[in-house]
Amino acid sequence: MGPVSVWQWSPWGLLLCLLCSSCLGSPSPSPSVGPEKRAGSQGLRFRLAGFPRKPFEGRVEIQRAGEWGTICDDDFTLQAAHVLCRELGFTEATGWTHSAKYGPGTGRIWLDNLSCSGTERSVTECASRGWGNSDCTHDEDAGVICKDQRLPGFSDSNVIEVEHHLQVEEVRLRPAVGWGRRPLPVTEGLVEVRLPDGWSKVCDKSWSSHNSHVVCGMLGFPSEKRVNVAFYRLLAQRQQHSFGLHGVACVGTEAHLSLCTLEFYRANDTTRCPGGGPAVVSCVPGPLYAASSGQKKQQQSKPQGEARVRLKGGAHPGEGRVEVLKAGTWGTVCDRKWDLQAASVVCRELGFGSAREALSGARMGQGMGAIHLSEVRCSGQESSLWKCPHKNITAEDCSHGQDAGVRCNLPYTGVETKIRLSGGRSRHEGRVEVQIGGPGPLRWGLICGDDWGTLEAMVACRQLGLGYANHGLQETWYWDSGNITEVVMSGVRCTGTEMSLDQCAHHGTHIACKRTETRFTAGVICSETASDLLLHSALVQETAYIEDRPLHMLYCAAEENCLARSARSANWPYGHRRLLRFSSQIHNLGRADFRPKAGRHSWVWHECHGHYHSMDIFTHYDILTPNGTKVAEGHKASFCLEDTECQEGELDQSKMDHSNSNP
Return the SS3 of 4: coil
DSSP SS3 for 424: coil
Q: Across 19-129, where does the E strand assignment appear?
A: 44-49, 57-64, 67-71, 93-97, 108-111
Q: What is the distance, to the nearest Å, from the Cα of residue 37 to the centroid of all Cα atoms in its chain?
A: 39
Element (H, E) at 523: strand 523-527
pLDDT of amino acid 615: 66
Helix (H, G, I), strand (E, B) or coil at 230: helix
pLDDT digit string, tens, across residues 597-626: 666 677 777 777 677 777 667 677 777 788
User: Is it true that 171-285 and 415-527 share their CATH fold?
Assistant: yes
Residue spans per domain, the chain: 34-158, 171-285, 309-408, 415-527, 534-662
The lowest-confidence range among 19-33, 181-195, 534-548 is 19-33
Is the separation of the CB atoms in 490 and 506 below 8 Å? yes
Residue 139 CA to residue 104 CA, distance in Å, equals 5
Give CA separation, 348 vs 213, 294, 299, 345, in Å.
Answer: 11, 21, 15, 5
Which tens digit of pLDDT belongs to each residue from 557-584?
777 777 777 888 888 888 888 888 888 7
Whether omega for the bond prior to residue 626 falls within 30 degrees of 0, making it cis, is no
Q: What is the CATH number of domain 171-285?
A: 3.10.250.10
Strand partners, 263: 247
User: Domain spanning 34-158 has what CATH number?
Assistant: 3.10.250.10
What does the pLDDT look like over 118-158, one tens digit per residue? 999 899 999 999 999 999 999 899 999 998 888 877 655 43
Report the alpha-carbon angle 502-468-521, nearest 5. 55
Q: Give the span between the Cα atoms of 457 and 435, in whole angstroms.
A: 17
| Residue 394 confidence (pLDDT) | 60
Residue 631 has pLDDT above 90, yes or no: no
The CATH class that applies to domain 309-408 reads alpha beta
- Distance (Å, whole) CA 334 – CA 314: 17
C-beta of residue 619 within 8 angstroms of C-beta of residue 596: no
C-alpha to C-alpha distance for 594 and 596, rounded to whole angstroms: 7
pTM exceeding the 0.85 threshold for the entire prediction: no
Other Cβ atoms within 10 Å of 634 Cβ, number: 18
Domain range 415-527, CATH architecture: Roll (3.10)
CB 376 within 8 Å of CB 390 = yes
Q: Is 398 exposed, middle or buried (0-12, 13-18, 19+ CB in 10 A)?
A: buried
Give the whole-angstrom CA distance, residue 142 versus residue 126.
16
Nearest of 438, 492, 493, 426 to residue 464 by alpha carbon: 426
The answer for residues whose C-beta is within 8 angstroms of residue 514's C-beta and 6 or more apart is 448, 450
- For the residues 458-477, what does the mean pLDDT come to? 92
Q: Label residue 224 by pLDDT band (50, 70, 90).
A: very high
pLDDT at 392 exceeding the cut of 80? no
Of 21, 115, 57, 75, whose CA–CA distance to 402 is shortest?
75
243 contacts 279 by C-beta, under 8 angstroms: no
CA distance 434 to 418: 6
161 and 77 in contact (C-beta within 8 Å)? Answer: no
- How far the first Cα of the chain sits from its last, in Å, is 77
**To the nearest whole percent, how much of the chain has pLDDT over 90?**
36
